[in-house]
Amino acid sequence: MRNLKRVIFVLITSLVVLATVVFMLENQQPVALVFLGWAGPQMSVAIPIILALLVGMMIGPLLSWVASLRKRPKGVKTA
């Protein structure tokens, strides 16, 4: 069972990496982003999108952790 889970994990990870590579190769057009009057350098359109994905992947677990801290009873200490 453990080996099956490992194989499924490797397959899913490989598919995500492959999809990301294909996405980056298909989106090579240069774009300059403007945010609050600040203009960034021109870069491939895939770079800001993947950066936004990575930031979201970090914020999601962080918010989940904060929510679990708020649900925990006040007298309980964890190691």
Residue 9 is predicted with a pLDDT of 93
Q: What is the pLDDT of residues 8-64, one digit of tens each?
A: 999 999 998 899 888 888 888 888 888 888 888 888 888 888 888 889 989 999 999
Question: What are the sequence ranges of the domains in the chain?
Answer: 29-69
Q: pTM value?
A: 0.56
Q: Is the pLDDT of residue 1 over 70?
A: yes
DSSP class of residue 72 equals: S
Residue 11 is predicted with a pLDDT of 95
Where does 5-63 show beta strands of DSSP type E?
30-31, 34-35, 38-39, 43-44
Cα 25 to Cα 22: distance, rounded to the nearest angstrom: 5
